[in-house]
Amino acid sequence: MVLPIDLLEVSKNREISLLLKDGRVLKGKLIGHDQYMNLVLDDAREEKEGEERRLGKIVLRGSNVVSIALI
């Protein structure tokens, strides 16, 4: 049994890929989270139409996240 929050815990400092509710896909290194699944990404990038936009260090509100994949 793997609690969702535990998977985030063991994913720290690993690259993840996020799907947001608005359809955007973000990638970055997971460096923090809280119990609401708010996330902190380092070296975040948004990929859109083959291009990559660099966002740096960001906070993401968990309520906008659909899924979190380990890369």
Taking CB under 8 A as the rule, does residue 64 contact a second copy?
A: yes
- Of residues 2-61, those binding a second copy (CB under 8 A): 2-8, 12, 20-23, 26, 31-34, 37-40, 44, 55-61
d(C-alpha 15, C-alpha 42), whole Å: 9
Smallest distance, a second copy to C-beta of residue 35, A: 10
Site residues, a second copy (CB under 8 A) = 1-8, 12, 20-23, 26, 31-34, 37-40, 44, 55-71
